[in-house]
Amino acid sequence: MRHVFFTWVLSLGIAALCACSSAPAQKTDANPKTLTAADSALVKKVTEEVVTKQPKVEVDLEAAHQFFFLAKNMEMRGDQRQANFFWKQAYKADPTSRYLGFGLAERLVAEGEDSLALVEAQKASQLKGKKTAAQYALLARLYVKTGLVDSCRKYFVLGLDSSHYQDMNLLYDYSLFLEMARDEKELVRVYDLLLPKVNYLPTLFQRQLSLLLDMGRDSAVVELFGKAHDATGDKQMLLQKVRGLMAMKRFKEAIAIADTLTSAKPEDEEITIMVLSAMPGDSAYAFARKKYYDDGVKTPAVLCFIGQYEYDIDMRDSAKVHLLASVDKLQGQPKYANRAYLGLVNIFASEQNYAEAIKYAEKSDSVSNGDTRMLLASVYALADKYEKAFPLLDSLMKFWETWKPLPGVVDSAKLVAMKNEATVKYLQVLDIYSRALIGEALDFEKDFRADSVKKARALDNRARAEVMLEKFFATDSSYSRVRLSMAMNLERLKRYDESFRHFEVLLSKPDFSPHEMASTLNYYGYTLLELNRSKAEVEKGYKLVLDALALEKDGDGKDAYLDSKAWGLYRLGRFDEAYEAMQLIDSKKMSRDDVFWEHLAAIQEALGLTKEARKSYKKLQKLNPKHPAVLKFFGKKK
């Protein structure tokens, strides 16, 4: 009745106020009643209470507790249906409980009532009580199903903040939401938090890796592999990290990692080999030796690198030992085995041990998918096995002459690179093939037993070689070695003036090594001496030979250059000096050289040393019975 009374009083008061505002003042009782400030405040308070007052919620805590315990009892017995019923009753008894409200929402979700669950969860979220990560997570998951993206994100963030980002399931659900929302930046951050908790699960790891690669975050990719290695100990992850560092030219960091390696595991081996390419030669050699002999990275591939480097700095004996020691143990590693094969090919070829050079060239061809076939053809030619060299060169020539890119290649830069590579390969074939033809022709020319067929073939070979060299020059005329082949071939074809023009170009552009330049000077100079067309040419030839000797005083070609010098002196009529020069030559090295005996005999004869000349001609005769100088001497002096 109290509320009714106040309402009635209020209505009378308002009516009175209205009356006062609309009519002139009239006299009433002697002691009229007026509203005080206190009365106005009371009226205002009552008015607000009437407007804002909500119906009182009835709460039966005792019943709520009883239903709650019954629900828990049913859950323990496995009767979820009864448990859910009692849970609803508990919440009905105490609708002010945030805990019971969210509990009911969870059970509605379990029953498949997602829409009703969202309604109850929204209501519960307005109630007082402890706010938990699980409650925020439930709201977030329910909003995911309704597609309300902003609400989803809000409650996922609230839930994760509340759990200090330790709730793995919530993190995973959030990542699924971010995938749906295509928020890659936030997704990378979440995966970075989630991955350590799942021990860098491969599927999540690959997804994070793909995201970072797509975003061009190379440094983050490197760090991802590093974290994965630190967490799992997986050496493959460390290997990938080093690869990334190398690609980014962060060589010091890569080398620092390699310096910590102490096992012969494949990853340790590959990392060691990888970082060697970032070091100067001497440093790389020292680092490789340290890893192999001191740090325990004692693998055939590292030993192969040591051998390769030793070959490069002309430590041939040591290189051969190390390459031979590594090669048989690299059968399961064709990439490294091929390096050892190639090193051994070069060593044995330089020793003129062509049987062994061929053996390893054939092994290289077997593991390189044909990439070293030109090398094999070259070695066959060096070993005078032209019957094997030419078929290989024919097939290579046909392939690169008719090469066309695959129809699927549309990238212009890639297409240009492929065409350039094909051109280089074609030029290599032309170079090797022409030298093989010239080599066989030279063998025929030096063979005093060669019949007319072989002599004709020698000419044909040189003509074919000239055509190939001209094709090479039409594409690229900058290679001095190819120009030298052209000059020497033309000289043998007796087209001297053409040959000499090429020699002059070579001398005007000295891009040969000292050894190669000395050989070129001697060849050109000796040719002028041998032709003996004029005193000026002889003098020029003699000077060129002296220049060759100055470049290579103690090299492998010294004896041959001394022989050329002696012949120049002979052509100039300085026989005594010529003979002195011949005495400086190691005759044992030249014992199978018919040119040496021809020159010595001619100089001895010019000096009147007939007995000594006869002995020299006899040795020449033994090497080449049909040599014109032999026939002339013994035809005149029997």
Q: What is the DSSP string of 79-136?
A: -HHHHHHHHHHHHHH-TT-HHHHHHHHHHHHHTT-HHHHHHHHHHHHTS-S---HHHH
Q: Is the whole-model pTM more than 0.85?
A: no
pLDDT for 6: 29
Find out whether 386 and 440 touch, Cβ atoms under 8 Å: yes
pLDDT for 375: 95
Cα–Cα distance for residue pair 149/418, rounded to 1 Å: 49
Cα–Cα distance for residue pair 412/587, rounded to 1 Å: 61
Cα–Cα distance for residue pair 135/101, rounded to 1 Å: 10
Among 512, 538, 511, smallest CA distance to 524 is for: 538
Among 338, 278, 281, smallest CA distance to 304 is for: 338
- The pLDDT tens digits for 197-245 are 888 889 888 888 888 888 889 999 999 999 999 999 999 999 999 999 9
pLDDT for 211: 87
pLDDT for 522: 96
Among 571, 622, 616, smallest CA distance to 596 is for: 616
- The pLDDT tens digits for 69-123 are 888 888 888 888 888 888 888 878 878 888 888 888 888 888 888 888 888 888 8
Among 168, 172, 160, smallest CA distance to 197 is for: 168
Find out whether 339 and 310 touch, Cβ atoms under 8 Å: no
Among 48, 47, 39, smallest CA distance to 7 is for: 47
Find out whether 234 and 228 touch, Cβ atoms under 8 Å: yes
564-584 burial code (b ≥16 CB/10 A, e <16): bbbbbbbbbeebebbbebbee
Angle, to 10 degrees, between the axis of helix 594-606 and the axis of helix 558-571? 30
Looking at the chain, the number of H-run helices and the number of E-run strands are 33, 0
Where residue 127 falls (left for φ over 0; alpha for ψ -120 to 50; beta otherwise) is: beta
Query: Mind giving me the DSSP string for 382-420?
Result: HTT-HHHHHHHHHHHHHHHHS----TT---HHHHHHHHH
Low-confidence stretches of the chain (pLDDT beneath 70): 1-57, 147, 409-410, 636-638
pLDDT for 141: 80
Residue 605, C-beta contacts closer than 8 angstroms, at least 6 positions apart: 613, 633
**Is the sign of the CA dihedral 361, 367, 371, 373 positive or negative?**
positive
pLDDT for 127: 83
pLDDT for 45: 58
Rg (CA), the chain: 49
pLDDT for 310: 92
Show the DSSP H helices in 198-299 as ranges.
Answer: 202-214, 218-232, 235-247, 251-258, 266-276, 281-289
Q: Chain-centre distance of CA 301, in angstroms?
A: 18
Torsion of CA 329, 331, 335, 336, to 10 degrees: 10
pLDDT for 636: 58
User: Residue type at 373?
Assistant: R
47-78 burial code (b ≥16 CB/10 A, e <16): eeeeeeeeeeeeeeeeebeebbebbeebbeee
Residue 240, C-beta contacts closer than 8 angstroms, at least 6 positions apart: 225
Residue in the block written with tokens 């980002």: 165
